[in-house]
């Protein structure tokens, strides 16, 4: 089946001289605007290709697994707070339902629309990152860092929005400059400016883990996009210098304490403070053994593991379901990665390709970093486990972005059976 792809020429510019595309969807869009939402949706569905059902199954499996574990991990906390044992689970479940709906809706929205929105999206995200720093607008949510904007009953992290904006921006930049990605001016500078400004703003919150994540995703996209390897070496060097700078700025103690509790979280002087979270996570994982204590039977969720339904949910999975349960989680993420990258590989254009790479890489990187933290493979930093960790808006955004990935799958150049 031959498909028609939208031209990149929606924005007049650099690439218009490239092969004039057949009439794309973008071209038809104005007509559709006159119709009702339902009509537009059904038209979109009818016109779209088939979405990747394998990815849908993987996502729904992760999600279900996640909700079950949220229930198991959260009920002691819920009960202790005087709430119903299901209170966290129902809230997260609600977001999951809305999120799945959003995912299917987004899968119907032609992903090229984001390319048109790339600059407004990026600028809006930057403004949000600035706004969140202002006390009164940004909230600390009881932590030490000002990372959240609260809007009535919901709250979100502008950095999550920025993460998406960067993915779209980098997909756009690569698709525009793919020929000159080996140069500094086009292959490094614009990316570096984006990442640099974002990193500076996010470190003001401060939000190290988020910064690491965004920079990581950015690097993966740059690398895939064709940035020369030596620039990464240079950036690595700059990073080392940056760390040296941070140390000079007097954060040495903080960093050393982090390193200390990473190297030996059970050390006597660390166990009850800096090492506690990591140590309790390791105890949960270790005491789960191969088969685990059985679902619902975690001991460590009783106020040993900090926020057992949140960043450390994976250690509760390990304690209750053992190595087996953990391997199933990892296997699901590997399948997700393979499926996501295969969608990228089949994307009809560079923007779709890079977008799919970015979205998939985002989930994978976050999962890897989260599991690496709870297993103390890397020093402790707050990164949630996609589809598992408690957090409504984050889940909603993840599922929405999965919708975009699914939309890219609808445009696959290879037939699916």
Q: Which residues bind other proteins (CB under 8 A)?
A: 5, 8, 18-19, 21, 76, 80, 174-175, 178, 220, 223-226, 266, 279-280, 282-290, 299-300, 302-304, 318, 322-323, 326-327, 330, 333-334, 337-338, 341, 344-345, 347-350, 353-354, 357, 361, 364, 368, 371-372, 375-377, 413
**What 3 state SS string does 243-257 have?**
HHHHHHHHHHHHHHH
36 alpha carbon, distance to own chain's centre? 32
Q: CB-wise, 280 or 310, nearer to other proteins?
A: 280
Least Å from the CB of residue 208 to other proteins: 19
Q: CB-wise, 27 or 93, nearer to other proteins?
A: 27
Contacts of 177 (CB under 8 A, 6+ apart): 186, 187, 190
Least Å from the CB of residue 292 to other proteins: 9
Contacts of 368 (CB under 8 A, 6+ apart): none
Q: CB-wise, 292 or 392, nearer to other proteins?
A: 292
Least Å from the CB of residue 187 to other proteins: 12
Least Å from the CB of residue 7 to other proteins: 8
Sheet bearing 138-139, strands edge to edge: 138-139, 148-151, 154-156
Segments in 81-140 forming alpha helices (H): 87-106, 112-116, 118-131
CA distances from 339 to 58, 184, 365, 405 (A): 9, 32, 15, 10
CA trace torsion 384, 85, 285, 263 (10° rounding): 50
Three-point CA angle 62, 63, 69, nearest 5°: 90
Q: CB-wise, 342 or 401, nearer to other proteins?
A: 342
Contacts of 297 (CB under 8 A, 6+ apart): 320
Q: CB-wise, 181 or 394, nearer to other proteins?
A: 181
What whole-number distance in Å separates Cα of residue 66 and Cα of residue 329? 9
Q: CB-wise, 143 or 297, nearer to other proteins?
A: 297
- Spatial contact of 390 and 310, defined as CB atoms under 8 Å apart: yes
3-state secondary structure of 40: helix
Least Å from the CB of residue 404 to other proteins: 17
Least Å from the CB of residue 295 to other proteins: 14
Q: CB-wise, 126 or 398, nearer to other proteins?
A: 398
Q: CB-wise, 18 or 23, nearer to other proteins?
A: 18
Least Å from the CB of residue 140 to other proteins: 23
Containing 156, the helix (H) or strand (E) segment is: strand 154-156
Least Å from the CB of residue 88 to other proteins: 17
- Spatial contact of 336 and 303, defined as CB atoms under 8 Å apart: no
Least Å from the CB of residue 282 to other proteins: 6
Q: Is 52 left (phi over 0), alpha (psi -120 to 50) or beta?
A: beta
What whole-number distance in Å separates Cα of residue 339 and Cα of residue 17? 33
Q: CB-wise, 3 or 32, nearer to other proteins?
A: 3
């Amino acid at each position: 089946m031959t498909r028609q792809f939208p031209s990149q020429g929606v924005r007049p510019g650099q690439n218009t001289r490239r092969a004039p595309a057949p009439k794309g969807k973008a071209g038809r869009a104005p007509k559709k605007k006159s119709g009702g939402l339902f009509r537009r949706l059904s038209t979109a569905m009818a016109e779209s290709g088939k979405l990747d059902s394998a990815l849908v199954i993987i996502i729904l499996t992760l999600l279900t697994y996640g909700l079950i574990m949220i229930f198991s991990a959260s009920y002691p906390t819920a009960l202790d707070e005087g709430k119903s044992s299901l209170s966290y689970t129902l809230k997260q479940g609600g977001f999951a339902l809305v999120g799945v709906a959003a995912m299917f809706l987004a899968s119907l929205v032609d992903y090229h629309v984001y390319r048109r929105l790339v600059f407004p999206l990026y600028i809006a995200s930057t403004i949000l990152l600035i706004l969140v720093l202002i006390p009164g607008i940004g909230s600390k949510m009881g932590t030490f860092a000002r990372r959240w904007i609260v809007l009535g009953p919901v709250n979100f992290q502008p950095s999550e929005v920025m993460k998406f904006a960067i993915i779209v921006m980098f997909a756009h930049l690569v698709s525009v400059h793919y020929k000159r990605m080996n140069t500094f001016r086009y292959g490094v500078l614009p990316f570096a400016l984006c990442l640099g400004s974002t990193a500076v703003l996010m470190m003001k919150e401060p939000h190290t883990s988020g910064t690491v994540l965004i920079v990581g995703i950015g690097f993966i996209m740059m690398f895939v996009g064709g940035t020369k390897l030596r620039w990464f070496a240079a950036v690595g060097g700059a990073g080392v210098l940056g760390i040296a700078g941070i140390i000079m700025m007097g954060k040495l103690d903080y960093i050393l304490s982090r390193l200390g509790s990473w190297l030996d979280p059970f050390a006597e002087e660390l166990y009850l403070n800096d090492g506690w979270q990591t140590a309790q996570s390791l105890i949960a994982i270790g005491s789960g053994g191969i088969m685990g204590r059985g679902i619902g039977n975690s001991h460590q969720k009783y106020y040993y593991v900090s926020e057992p339904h949140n960043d450390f949910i994976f250690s509760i999975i390990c304690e209750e379901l053992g190595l087996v349960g953990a391997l199933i989680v990892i296997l699901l993420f590997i399948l997700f990665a393979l499926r996501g990258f295969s969608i990228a590989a089949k994307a009809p254009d560079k923007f779709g390709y890079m977008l799919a790479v970015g979205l998939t890489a985002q989930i994978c990187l976050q999962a890897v970093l989260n599991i690496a933290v709870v297993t103390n493979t890397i020093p402790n930093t707050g990164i949630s486990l996609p589809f598992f960790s408690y957090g409504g808006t984050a889940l909603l955004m993840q599922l929405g972005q999965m919708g975009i990935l699914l939309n890219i799958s609808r445009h696959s150049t290879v037939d699916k059976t």
